Amino acid sequence: MRNALSRRRGAAETEEASLLGGINLQLLIKVFESLPPADYFSITQCFISLNDPSLAFSLIAKLVNLETSEPPKTTPSSPPTESPSISPGLWMRWRVRKEHWRRTTKPVANQHRERLAVIPNGQESITLYFDILYRNDNAGLLIVRVTLCALKPRNSIYRTAISLAKAFASAGTTSDPFLRENLDLLGEASSWSGYTTTAALGVIHKGNLA
């Protein structure tokens, strides 16, 4: 009896803590939305914690229907009148200006919609992910260069060690200049060492869809 009461009390406390956490997350969402530039990253983290897809749907709908208060840019002046006194060059320059204005005066809301349409396919996230990895690639190539000088080129373990060391050092960074610079040495490898080099390139470029 005592154990049953203890379990019920624990379940009630857990449920109460869950409800309290949900209320706090809802308040945090309102705080993040009220910031001058809304903190959408923190808002989405709250959505994940709440596990409520409807909140994400409402946010996407809100972002898609963004309106702009930016004043429209002035249109080019009216086209020059076609007459014998108007040179073809002047007419062509006006046509070029009009086409440039048409391409560069998209409303901000349309730009946001186009960006949102690109994000779900993952390409934008992949590009940013690889950019971060590439810019923060601080792996030193000293161990690879020491291996290059220490082992005999005729030994198959020589090329295998170089390929594996470079793969582990630069995994996912798309940084493969060392292997490119030593393609002549790696090209002399046996079949299995060649497979290892190919696998190393795959590890370095993992996730890259470009």
Q: How many separate domains does the chain show?
A: 3
Pair of tokens at residue 204: 């370095």
Would you state the torsion angle of the CA atoms of residues 140, 141, 146, 148, taken in this order, to the nearest 10 degrees?
170
Does the pLDDT value for residue 72 go beyond 50? no
Does the pLDDT value for residue 44 go beyond 80? yes
Does the pLDDT value for residue 184 go beyond 50? yes
CA pair distance 59, 69, nearest whole angstrom: 20
Q: Which of 25, 48, 64 is the last residue of a domain?
A: 64
Pair of tokens at residue 177: 């200049």
pLDDT at 10: 58
Q: What is the pTM of this model?
A: 0.43
In a domain, 165, yes or no: yes
Pair of tokens at residue 122: 């993952």
| Alpha-carbon separation of residue 150 from 28, 32, 131, 142, 154 (angstroms) | 58, 57, 33, 12, 12
Q: Tell me which of 3 and 53 has the higher pLDDT.
A: 53
Domain that holds residue 92: 88-135
What residue has token string 């919609």? 113
Shared domain for 50 and 24, answered yes or no, is: yes
Does the pLDDT value for residue 84 go beyond 50? no
CA pair distance 198, 203, nearest whole angstrom: 9
Shared domain for 127 and 149, answered yes or no, is: no
Query: For residue range 126-183, what is the model confidence (pLDDT) as tens digits?
Result: 777 777 877 777 777 777 777 777 766 666 777 777 788 888 888 888 777 777 777 7
Yes or no: say if 159 and 186 are a contact pair by the CB < 8 Å rule.
yes
Kindly give the residue spans of alpha helices, DSSP state H, lying in 35-74: 40-50, 53-64
Using 50, 70 and 90 to split pLDDT, how confident is the model at 71?
A: very low
- Tell me which amino acid residue 210 is: A
In a domain, 76, yes or no: no
Number of H helices, E strands in the chain: 11, 0
CA–CA–CA angle 42, 58, 132 (5° rounding)? 35
Does the pLDDT value for residue 104 go beyond 50? yes
Q: Tell me which of 175 and 30 has the higher pLDDT.
A: 30
Q: Which residue from 134, 189, 120 is spatially nearest to 158, judged by alpha carbons?
A: 189
Shared domain for 96 and 131, answered yes or no, is: yes
Shared domain for 105 and 148, answered yes or no, is: no
CA pair distance 135, 124, nearest whole angstrom: 17
Does the pLDDT value for residue 50 go beyond 80? yes
In a domain, 6, yes or no: yes
In a domain, 121, yes or no: yes
Does the pLDDT value for residue 29 go beyond 80? yes
**Number of Cβ atoms within 10 Å of the Cβ of 165:** 20
